[in-house]
Amino acid sequence: MNLSPEQFLVELRRRRATRVRRVSFRMNRSTVWSLTQGGRVLNLHAAYRTATPELLDAFADLVAEGGWWTAARRRRAASAIRAWPPLSEALRDARAEPRNRSESACCATFQQSRYLRTLYRDLNRTRFEGRLPDDLPLRLSNRMKRALGHMVPGEGGAGERSVREIALNVDLMLEGNDEELVDTLLHEMAHAADYLLTGHRGHGSSWRAWARRVGCRPVRLNDRPIRTRRRRTAAVTRVPPPPPPLAATLAR
């Protein structure tokens, strides 16, 4: 069954979830559901158009107004929604599609993407105790001018937090920028950890504590000089030499 937004709303109301007044479907890359406008609008990933009755029950448990549902029941509902099998495939498809005009596409080569993913996972394991998601979206951007990187937080309902992406300036892949590349990635990963684990954003005291803990400089990135392309339209294909612990992994 392929539900329209109106049909999905009817199903929620049948299950006593009367607070929601409107349902919308979106082909998001990471955020799978959220409540906006004071809980009156439920924004869903388009994969949930084919929701089963059991999944509709879970959504009703999660968004129903009133005190009859326990916190444990809401947590179980949220877990069932996140673990729904068709969702993972839909997210992969959404991430494979070109981004909208407000977001530039990833300009990384296959080898650069592999390098960044391996570096990220190694830093996650050795500096963050594996507390960040292994599949957190990473990309290289050729549109950043002064910025070296950014972390884009995502928001869901019931306090659920996610990271939409970590993006790095492609010039960081140029020769002479290797140390800055690792430091910038650690900087943005510290933002991700600070947001996902504590809900904080920005360069406040909690982020600075993460930065010192994982070994990156606890300062803003914008004013730190790096080598840049002479022509901004020039492609960057270089892959930096891996730090020693990563050499064997990347050689496989």
CATH number reported for the structural domain that contains residue 88 in this entry: 3.30.2010
Enumerate the β-bridge partners of residue 45: 26
CA angle, 84 then 89 then 93, to 5°: 140
Q: Is residue 231 part of a domain?
A: yes
**pLDDT at residue number 55:** 92
Q: Report helix, strand or coil for 103.
A: coil
Distance, in Å, from the CA atom of 24 to the CA atom of 181, rounded to the nearest integer, reads 39
Q: Is residue 198 part of a domain?
A: yes
Q: What is the mean pLDDT of each run of 10 residues along the chain (252 residues)?
A: 85 90 79 79 87 92 67 84 83 57 70 93 95 92 87 72 91 95 96 92 91 92 81 90 63 48
**pLDDT at residue number 65:** 64
Q: Is residue 212 part of a domain?
A: yes
130 and 234 in a common domain? yes
**pLDDT at residue number 102:** 39
| Count of structural domains, the chain | 2
The residue among 96, 128, 163 that closes a domain is 96
**pLDDT at residue number 171:** 96
Distances (CA, A) of 132 to 76, 151, 196: 22, 13, 8
75 and 199 in a common domain? no
Q: Give the domain range for residue 131.
A: 110-251
246 and 127 in a common domain? yes
123 and 81 in a common domain? no
CA angle, 90 then 96 then 23, to 5°: 40
Strand ranges of the sheet holding 161-169, from the earlier edge strand across to the other edge: 138-141, 161-169, 149-155
Q: Domain holding 227: CATH number?
A: 3.30.2010.10
197 and 162 in a common domain? yes
DSSP 48: G
The residue among 96, 130, 155 that closes a domain is 96
Please give the distance of CA 215 from its chain centroid, rounded to a whole number: 22
Provide the token pair at 122: 């190694």
Distance, in Å, from the CA atom of 17 to the CA atom of 183, rounded to the nearest integer, reads 47
Q: Is residue 169 part of a domain?
A: yes
The pairs formed by 62-71 with CB atoms below 8 angstroms and a separation of 24 or more are 62/157, 62/158, 63/12, 63/17, 63/19, 63/20, 63/35, 63/39, 63/157, 64/15, 64/16, 64/17, 64/18, 64/19, 65/17, 65/18, 65/19, 65/39
**Torsion sign (Cα): 63, 79, 86, 109:** positive
**pLDDT at residue number 188:** 96
Residues in CB range of 81: below 8 A, 6 or more apart: 32, 33, 55, 58, 59, 62
242 and 142 in a common domain? yes
Closest to 138 (Cα-Cα) out of 113, 98, 166: 166
Q: Strand (E) positions, the chain? A: 22-26, 33-36, 41-45, 138-141, 149-155, 161-169
Strands 138-141 and 161-169, sheet pairing: parallel
Distance, in Å, from the CA atom of 246 to the CA atom of 44, rounded to the nearest integer, reads 39
**pLDDT at residue number 101:** 38
pTM above 0.85, yes or no: no
